[in-house]
Chains A and B, each alone.
Chain A
């Protein structure tokens, strides 16, 4: 008879920095700082409610930002959220490009600084 399987999972850290199952535990951050955690989640929940922007529009913004900040949890969460809201894959990809364009624009606009410095240093 096989011996009872011991659950090591509880005690050993995952061997990767990102575990998809950790997303479900996001709420646990409140356990070690209840006031700040609660305030954060109240704020977070409020932000994504329908307002001057629809919940759908906010979901697409969140998806774009998730890519820019390269948060795998956020990408999982807002891809699923988008599906739930009926957002199409074409809309999702355009949102990612909007984020990427701003991110690359932010890099490229520094090219002006480079040009300025170049000109200043050159005779």
Chain B
């Protein structure tokens, strides 16, 4: 299990153009597999264009208490990229005026940003319909200063979305680190205790499942049924929905795929599972992703690949939704991850 980010290990791979070189080269360059661009052109969906903006996703920093094997952010305790209060002020200005109905805070572990609570308090005043915080669960138990997070989330009516790769200890710990399973269970029980995830509760608690290896996620409905049954029977845990998310070949997951000799097979699986109807609903068509330093991206994945939006407006300080929405979305072969099977997004399946 890695304890440092690829960046801290000075791995070549995370140099952005190295990843793009891999995604554009090899089996795609040889013509063995079609480029994503050509695939969507078949159904008249190229260039990919945004629809109405619904979700503003803000990445408040890459620092995290965990170093998960599959992390496309390459997050970890050694990452120093953290959103400043000044950039948060600019985000708040946008949050107050956006037509998006959902605000989605992610990271790293967003809670580790020193201004996280202040930002949530201010953002909550804007009255956005759905205010999501993506919490990795273990952070709630990582340090005394985080123990009251469930209460804090409740106070601001935060919709909590948490990662839980499996309902068994072995699979969870292999992907996310030793002890993560037990801490996650404890954190879920604490969230349940303040009302999160309970059957009739308005305090939303959803789980995110991503495969712990070089395979695609199964049917979301069937997985949700299995997770609910197991977590209820074994730990008395309740939650609302399970979102299954496909791992995209970026950063640590790409590193794992290559090192384990699974890269080509995985790309084959993604391309074989290509579903044209998922293209219409991929999240980049209704989301804007903001990085810790205020740059704008089509999605969190493009953010990690360093692919800024193809628009005159590229930074939160110049934000203009109308101009921004009139752009072509930047795509590459990683996009097959969002169009495989039932499709994949931060909100789970898209078909």
Instruction: Point out residues on A near B: beta carbons under 8 Å.
Output: 24, 50, 54-56, 80, 83-86, 88
B interface size (C-beta, 8 A): 17
Q: How far is the CB of B17 from chain A (nearest CB, A)?
A: 24
Contact pick for B218, options A24, A86, A88, CB 8 Å = A86
Q: Which residues of B contact A55 (CB under 8 A)?
A: 219, 222
Cβ A83 vs Cβ B222 within 8 A: no
Q: How far is the CA of A9 from the CA of B171 in the complex (A)?
A: 38
What are 19 A-B pairs at a CB distance below 8 A? A24-B268, A24-B272, A55-B219, A56-B222, A56-B226, A80-B215, A83-B211, A83-B213, A83-B215, A84-B211, A84-B215, A84-B217, A85-B218, A85-B222, A85-B223, A86-B166, A86-B209, A86-B223, A86-B227
Q: Which residues of A contact B223 (CB under 8 A)?
A: 85-86
Q: Which residues of A contact B219 (CB under 8 A)?
A: 55, 85
Residue of A nearest to B30 (CB): A7
Cβ B211 vs Cβ A88 within 8 A: no
**Is residue B216 contacting chain A, with contact meaning CB distance below 8 A?**
yes
Q: Which residues of B contact A84 (CB under 8 A)?
A: 211, 215-218
Residue of A nearest to B221 (CB): A50
Q: How far is the CB of A84 from chain B (nearest CB, A)?
A: 4
Could you list 15 further interchain pairs (A-B, Cβ under 8 angstroms) beyond the known A56-B226, A86-B222?
A24-B268, A56-B222, A80-B215, A84-B211, A84-B216, A84-B218, A85-B219, A85-B222, A85-B223, A86-B209, A86-B218, A86-B223, A86-B226, A88-B168, A88-B171
Q: Which residues of B contact A50 (CB under 8 A)?
A: 222
What per-residue 1/0 map shows which CB atoms of B24-48 lie under 8 Å from chain A?
0000000000000000000000000
Residue of A nearest to B166 (CB): A86
Q: Which residues of B contact A54 (CB under 8 A)?
A: 222
Q: How far is the CA of A93 from the CA of B171 in the complex (A)?
A: 16
Interface residues of B in 195-243 (CB under 8 A from A): 209, 211, 213, 215-219, 222-223, 226-227
Q: How far is the CA of A80 from the CA of B209 in the complex (A)?
A: 17
Q: How far is the CB of A50 from chain B (nearest CB, A)?
A: 8
Residue of B nearest to A76 (CB): B265
Q: How far is the CB of A81 from chain B (nearest CB, A)?
A: 8
Q: How far is the CA of A83 from the CA of B227 in the complex (A)?
A: 14
Q: How far is the CA of A11 from the CA of B226 in the complex (A)?
A: 47
Q: How far is the CA of A24 from the CA of B171 in the complex (A)?
A: 27
Q: How far is the CA of A84 from the CA of B268 in the complex (A)?
A: 15
Q: How far is the CA of A119 from the CA of B172 in the complex (A)?
A: 58
Q: Which residues of A contact B166 (CB under 8 A)?
A: 86
Residue of B nearest to A54 (CB): B222
Q: How far is the CA of A54 from the CA of B218 in the complex (A)?
A: 13
Q: How far is the CA of A54 from the CA of B223 in the complex (A)?
A: 12
